[in-house]
């Protein structure tokens, strides 16, 4: 599995036969062009977790329409201008807690603590989780009431995701949250069984370093925190980044 960072929460994931692209809204390194120049893919799936400008860009997604097998989009994207730019016959809009599968790929959608969905994607014997904007949005300067609402919303959703098994999870570690930036990712990793973590949604901040107390003892996993558009890592058979 080879993963390329596009920008913000955008990633291209290359498997043996399938290309998965998540939340592509900007691609300053032209990484997607390079991925498509490598080879012809048996199947290409573009995912968009919600309609925020930094997660969904209909113009960018339309550029690759001739190669795309399906666009798998959150329900809130359905009536946007960007969605109307995509070929309708290739678009699938997923509600919260829905299931879709075809031709060797299966997707389970979850809710979010913002708008839209998160995705668990299963194909070629691999499972990937992309959180979209699901996170513990604990803004340190907010009111106590709002911080409690954020905590309750995060943990309510986490109960639905707890026990998830995945080869890799893409999850926000947003520097704007300051001391709370990794709270959501830490709880998510403690309650799921993921083999590797890729952090996201932290444009403009330094590369995140994993604190010593981030993982529970004996449950450490490899972590990649990309910062430069076009960065690429491979996950080997042991689940390590290289």
Where are the chain's structural domains? 2-234
Question: Please, which pLDDT band fits residue 238 given cuts at 50, 70 and 90?
Answer: confident
State residue 112's pLDDT score.
Answer: 97
3-state secondary structure 126-145: EEEEECCCCCCCCCCCCCHH
Give the burial class of 96: count Cβ atoms within 10 A of its Cβ; 0-12 exposed, 13-18 middle, 19 or more buried.
middle
Q: How many helices (H) and strands (E) does the chain have?
A: 5, 16
The model's pTM is: 0.97
Separation of alpha carbons 23 and 154, rounded Å = 21
Is the pLDDT at 173 greater than 90? The verdict is yes
Closest CA to 188 of 204, 199, 202, 203: 199
Mean per-residue pLDDT over the chain, rounded: 97
For the structural domain made of 2-234, what CATH number should be given? Answer: 3.60.15.10
Is the pLDDT at 218 greater than 90? The verdict is no
Is the pLDDT at 239 greater than 90? The verdict is no
Mean pLDDT on 103-119: 97
Mean pLDDT on 108-133: 97
């Amino acid at each position: 599995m080879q993963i390329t960072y596009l920008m913000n929460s955008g990633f291209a994931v290359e498997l043996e036969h399938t290309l998965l692209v998540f939340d592509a809204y900007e691609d300053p390194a032209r990484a997607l062009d390079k991925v498509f120049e490598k080879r012809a893919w048996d199947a290409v799936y573009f995912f968009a977790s919600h309609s925020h400008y930094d997660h969904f860009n209909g113009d960018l997604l339309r550029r690759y329409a001739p190669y795309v097998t399906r666009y798998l989009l959150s329900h809130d994207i359905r009536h946007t201008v960007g969605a109307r730019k995509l070929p309708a016959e290739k678009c699938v809009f997923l509600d919260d807690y829905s299931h879709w599968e075809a031709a060797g790929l299966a997707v389970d959608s979850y809710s979010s603590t913002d708008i839209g969905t998160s995705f668990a994607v299963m194909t070629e014997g691999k499972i990937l989780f992309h959180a979209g904007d699901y996170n513990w949005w604990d803004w340190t300067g907010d009111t106590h009431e709002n911080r409690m609402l954020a905590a309750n919303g995060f943990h309510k959703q986490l109960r639905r995701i707890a026990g998830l098994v995945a080869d890799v999870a893409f999850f926000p570690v947003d520097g704007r949250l300051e001391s709370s930036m990794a709270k959501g990712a830490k709880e998510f990793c403690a309650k799921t069984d993921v083999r590797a973590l890729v952090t996201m949604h932290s444009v403009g901040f330094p590369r995140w370093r994993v604190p010593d107390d981030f993982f529970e003892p004996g449950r450490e996993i490899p972590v990649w925190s990309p910062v430069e558009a076009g960065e690429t890592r491979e996950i080997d058979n042991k689940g390590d980044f290289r």
